[in-house]
Amino acid sequence: MSGLNILGVVLAGVGIAASVFPDWFGPLTGGSEPPANVFEAVERRVRGGMVLGVGLILIAVTALRPWSTSIPTAVFYFMAGALAARLLGMLIDGTVPKQWLLVAVEAVVMALAALWLWRSTGAV
Protein backbone atom coordinates (compact mmCIF):
# COMPACT_ATOMS: atom_id res chain seq x y z
CA MET A 1 0.00 0.00 0.00
CA SER A 2 1.35 3.40 -0.93
CA GLY A 3 1.34 6.45 1.29
CA LEU A 4 -1.55 7.99 -0.66
CA ASN A 5 -3.64 4.85 -0.19
CA ILE A 6 -3.03 4.95 3.56
CA LEU A 7 -3.93 8.65 3.63
CA GLY A 8 -7.07 7.77 1.65
CA VAL A 9 -8.10 5.15 4.19
CA VAL A 10 -7.56 7.64 7.03
CA LEU A 11 -9.54 10.36 5.23
CA ALA A 12 -12.33 7.91 4.42
CA GLY A 13 -12.54 6.93 8.07
CA VAL A 14 -12.62 10.57 9.18
CA GLY A 15 -15.26 11.30 6.53
CA ILE A 16 -17.46 8.46 7.73
CA ALA A 17 -17.12 9.57 11.34
CA ALA A 18 -17.82 13.22 10.39
CA SER A 19 -20.91 12.14 8.45
CA VAL A 20 -22.28 10.04 11.28
CA PHE A 21 -21.29 12.41 14.11
CA PRO A 22 -21.10 15.95 12.62
CA ASP A 23 -21.16 17.59 16.08
CA TRP A 24 -17.82 15.98 16.97
CA PHE A 25 -16.15 17.61 13.96
CA GLY A 26 -17.35 21.21 14.37
CA PRO A 27 -14.61 23.01 12.39
CA LEU A 28 -14.89 20.50 9.55
CA THR A 29 -18.68 20.35 9.36
CA GLY A 30 -19.53 23.97 9.97
CA GLY A 31 -19.54 24.88 13.63
CA SER A 32 -20.55 23.35 16.91
CA GLU A 33 -23.79 25.27 17.41
CA PRO A 34 -27.03 23.45 16.57
CA PRO A 35 -28.17 23.71 12.94
CA ALA A 36 -30.85 26.28 12.15
CA ASN A 37 -33.04 23.90 10.13
CA VAL A 38 -33.20 20.42 8.62
CA PHE A 39 -31.47 21.50 5.41
CA GLU A 40 -28.45 22.81 7.32
CA ALA A 41 -28.32 19.64 9.45
CA VAL A 42 -28.10 17.49 6.33
CA GLU A 43 -25.53 19.81 4.73
CA ARG A 44 -23.26 19.38 7.75
CA ARG A 45 -23.24 15.65 7.13
CA VAL A 46 -22.50 16.23 3.43
CA ARG A 47 -19.30 18.08 4.33
CA GLY A 48 -18.10 14.93 6.06
CA GLY A 49 -19.17 12.97 2.99
CA MET A 50 -16.94 15.15 0.85
CA VAL A 51 -13.98 14.19 3.03
CA LEU A 52 -15.06 10.57 2.56
CA GLY A 53 -15.11 11.17 -1.21
CA VAL A 54 -11.58 12.57 -1.20
CA GLY A 55 -10.43 9.51 0.74
CA LEU A 56 -12.10 7.23 -1.79
CA ILE A 57 -10.38 9.12 -4.61
CA LEU A 58 -6.97 8.62 -3.02
CA ILE A 59 -7.71 4.91 -2.66
CA ALA A 60 -9.12 4.41 -6.17
CA VAL A 61 -6.95 6.63 -8.38
CA THR A 62 -3.50 5.12 -8.43
CA ALA A 63 -2.16 7.08 -11.41
CA LEU A 64 -3.18 10.41 -12.91
CA ARG A 65 -2.64 9.26 -16.46
CA PRO A 66 -4.57 8.43 -18.55
CA TRP A 67 -6.76 11.42 -17.76
CA SER A 68 -9.71 9.73 -19.45
CA THR A 69 -9.99 7.32 -16.53
CA SER A 70 -8.63 9.30 -13.58
CA ILE A 71 -10.93 12.32 -13.96
CA PRO A 72 -14.24 10.43 -14.18
CA THR A 73 -13.14 8.08 -11.39
CA ALA A 74 -12.38 11.06 -9.14
CA VAL A 75 -15.70 12.73 -9.96
CA PHE A 76 -17.59 9.49 -9.38
CA TYR A 77 -16.05 8.77 -5.97
CA PHE A 78 -16.32 12.37 -4.77
CA MET A 79 -20.02 12.42 -5.63
CA ALA A 80 -20.48 8.97 -4.09
CA GLY A 81 -19.16 10.20 -0.75
CA ALA A 82 -21.36 13.30 -0.81
CA LEU A 83 -24.42 11.34 -1.91
CA ALA A 84 -23.96 8.67 0.77
CA ALA A 85 -23.70 11.33 3.47
CA ARG A 86 -26.71 13.23 2.07
CA LEU A 87 -28.86 10.10 2.08
CA LEU A 88 -27.72 9.30 5.63
CA GLY A 89 -28.58 12.83 6.70
CA MET A 90 -32.00 12.63 5.07
CA LEU A 91 -32.61 9.35 6.85
CA ILE A 92 -31.55 10.68 10.26
CA ASP A 93 -32.44 14.39 10.19
CA GLY A 94 -35.42 14.44 7.84
CA THR A 95 -36.09 15.51 4.28
CA VAL A 96 -36.56 18.81 2.53
CA PRO A 97 -37.59 19.02 -1.15
CA LYS A 98 -34.37 20.84 -2.04
CA GLN A 99 -32.38 17.87 -0.69
CA TRP A 100 -34.15 15.56 -3.13
CA LEU A 101 -33.17 17.92 -5.95
CA LEU A 102 -29.54 17.73 -4.82
CA VAL A 103 -29.76 13.92 -4.65
CA ALA A 104 -30.96 13.90 -8.25
CA VAL A 105 -28.18 16.25 -9.37
CA GLU A 106 -25.50 14.16 -7.65
CA ALA A 107 -26.92 10.95 -9.10
CA VAL A 108 -26.91 12.42 -12.63
CA VAL A 109 -23.31 13.63 -12.25
CA MET A 110 -22.31 10.17 -11.01
CA ALA A 111 -24.09 8.54 -13.93
CA LEU A 112 -22.34 10.85 -16.41
CA ALA A 113 -18.96 10.09 -14.84
CA ALA A 114 -19.70 6.36 -14.97
CA LEU A 115 -20.74 6.65 -18.63
CA TRP A 116 -17.55 8.59 -19.41
CA LEU A 117 -15.48 5.96 -17.62
CA TRP A 118 -17.28 3.13 -19.40
CA ARG A 119 -16.80 4.75 -22.82
CA SER A 120 -13.13 5.60 -22.22
CA THR A 121 -12.12 2.08 -21.10
CA GLY A 122 -13.53 0.50 -24.22
CA ALA A 123 -15.71 -1.99 -22.34
CA VAL A 124 -18.37 -3.62 -24.47
- Per-residue CA distances from 70 to 4, 45, 66, 80, 95 (Å): 15, 26, 6, 15, 33
Q: How far is CA 20 from the centre of its chain?
A: 13
pLDDT of amino acid 123? 59
The pTM of the whole model exceeds 0.85: yes
Q: Which helix (H) or strand (E) holds 6?
A: helix 3-20
Q: What is the pLDDT of residues 48-93, one digit of tens each?
A: 999 999 999 999 998 988 899 999 999 999 999 999 999 999 999 9
The separation between CA 110 and the C-alpha centre of its own chain, rounded to angstroms, equals 11
